[in-house]
Amino acid sequence: MGLISNGSTIFDAGAMASGFGGSLSFLSKQTASSSSSISFTSGINSTFKEYLFIYNNIHPATGNTQLRFQANADGASGFNETITSTAFLAFMGENGHSPTLGYEGGRDQAQGTGFQQISGDVGNDNDQVGCGYLHLFNPSSTTFVKHYIARASSCHPSDRENDFHSVGYFNTTSAIDEIQFKMSSGNIDSGTICLYGIG
C-alpha cells in the first residue's frame, strides 16, 4: 500500500487513485471497407458515464476530406442533433514550410445540426490516413447536455501533419444512444473504429 502525506494527514494512494475513474472496457469494433458511414447503434447506454471511440488508419476514398460525426437521441433518427462546438488546428509541412496554429472558424457549429468535423483534411494517397479519438461524456443523462472532446492526427494531401482539436456539446437533455461517423465527401475506404466504456 502506498501512502502519501500532506504534512498532517496520511492518505492511501491506491484508494485515492480509484476515485479518478476506472479502466477501459472494450465494447465493439467496426472495420470500414468502402463504407459510406460507420454507425454504432448499440452499446451506448447507462452502463458507463464515459465512452471513448478510437479510430485508427482511416483512409478516405476521396482526398482532402475530413472525418465527421453526429448522434441520435434515444428514439430519434436522422443523425441531426443540435451541436455547439469550437475547433482549432496546428500543422507543419514535411519541408518545414508555413507552421500554423489557429482557430478554425469554418469548422465549428453554433446550434447546428450538421455532422461535426473531428479531423483535419486527410489525403487519399496510399500512405495517407487519419487517426484519433472521440470522448463522449455521460450520454445517458436526462438532466444535462452531452459534452465531447475530439483530437486527431492526419496527413494532409499536401504532405503536412494536421493536429486537429474539436470540443462541444449536444444541446439536448435526452439520452444519446447512437453515433455515426462518415467522411465529409465520399466513402471511408478502410480503417477501424473501436468503442470503449470507461468505468
Counting every residue written for the chain, the total comes to 199
7 in a structural domain: no
Domain count within the chain: 1
Q: What is the pLDDT of residue 17?
A: 41
Q: What is the pLDDT of residue 98?
A: 81
3 in a structural domain: no
Q: What is the pLDDT of residue 187?
A: 98
Q: What is the pLDDT of residue 14?
A: 47
29 in a structural domain: yes
Q: What is the pLDDT of residue 135?
A: 98
43 and 27 Cβ atoms separated by less than 8 Å:
yes
H or E segment and range at residue 13: helix 13-17
Q: What is the dihedral of CA 199, 151, 82, 67, to 10 degrees?
A: -120
Q: What is the CATH number of the domain that holds 179?
A: 2.60.120
Q: What is the pLDDT of residue 97?
A: 81
Q: What is the pLDDT of residue 10?
A: 52
- Cα distances from 12 to residues 2, 6, 16, 53, 199, in angstroms, run 6, 12, 6, 32, 21
81 in a structural domain: yes
Residues of the chain with pLDDT under 70: 1-21
15 in a structural domain: no
Q: What is the pLDDT of residue 16?
A: 42
- On the 0-12 / 13-18 / 19+ scale of CB atoms within 10 A, 61 is middle
Report the phi/psi class of residue 125: left, alpha or beta, with left for phi > 0 and alpha for psi in -120 to 50.
beta
6 in a structural domain: no
pLDDT in tens, 141-151: 999 999 999 99
Enclosing domain of residue 102: 22-198
124 in a structural domain: yes
pLDDT in tens, 149-198: 999 999 999 999 999 999 999 999 999 999 999 999 999 999 999 999 99
